[in-house]
């Protein structure tokens, strides 16, 4: 009986806790406060960037564009290098395969010169 009451009590506490832990709903009014604050800070930045020693918004945009272009050029260059490396590896692999075939042919020729390596022409059963 006590275990059953304890179980019901725990179940009630867990239910109450989950009801209290509901997530807060964010409304457009909440977001509007942050938007107004952001716009105010941007306006102050535009007015005071020289005093603060920062680049102008136009200069910042130019720097961002240049950075994007530099990144794109780097990516393209790396892709070209990777492609060239893959082609080099493929050419080396092909050359190595050809060399292996040639060496195997030479080995087979040399082995064929020795009678011990030839298959026997007749078998003696000794009888």
- Whether pLDDT at 118 is above 70: no
**Which pLDDT tens digit goes with each residue over 95-116?**
999 999 999 999 999 988 887 6
Question: Is the pLDDT higher at 115 or at 90?
Answer: 90
Enumerate the domain spans of the chain. Answer: 34-114
Question: What is the reported pTM?
Answer: 0.43
Scanning the structure block, which residue is given the tokens 């190595």? 96
Q: Is 53 left (phi over 0), alpha (psi -120 to 50) or beta?
A: left
Cα–Cα distance for residue pair 77/80, rounded to 1 Å: 5
Q: What is the DSSP letter of 22?
A: P
Most confident of 11-15, 54-58, 85-89, 116-120: 85-89
Cα–Cα distance for residue pair 53/59, rounded to 1 Å: 13
Cα–Cα distance for residue pair 97/103, rounded to 1 Å: 10
Show the CA angle centred on residue 93, arms to residues 91 and 99, nearest 5°. 105
């Amino acid at each position: 009986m006590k275990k059953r009451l304890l179980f019901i009590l725990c179940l009630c506490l867990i239910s109450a806790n989950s009801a209290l832990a509901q997530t807060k709903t964010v409304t457009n009014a909440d977001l509007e406060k942050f938007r107004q604050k952001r716009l105010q800070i941007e306006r102050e930045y535009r007015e005071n960037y020289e005093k603060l020693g920062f680049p102008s918004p136009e200069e910042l945009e130019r720097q961002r564009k240049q950075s994007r272009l530099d990144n794109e050029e780097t990516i393209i260059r790396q892709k070209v290098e990777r492609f060239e490396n893959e082609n080099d590896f493929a050419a080396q692999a092909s050359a190595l395969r050809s060399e292996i075939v040639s060496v195997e042919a030479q080995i087979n020729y040399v082995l064929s010169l020795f009678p011990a390596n030839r298959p026997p022409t007749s078998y003696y059963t000794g009888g």
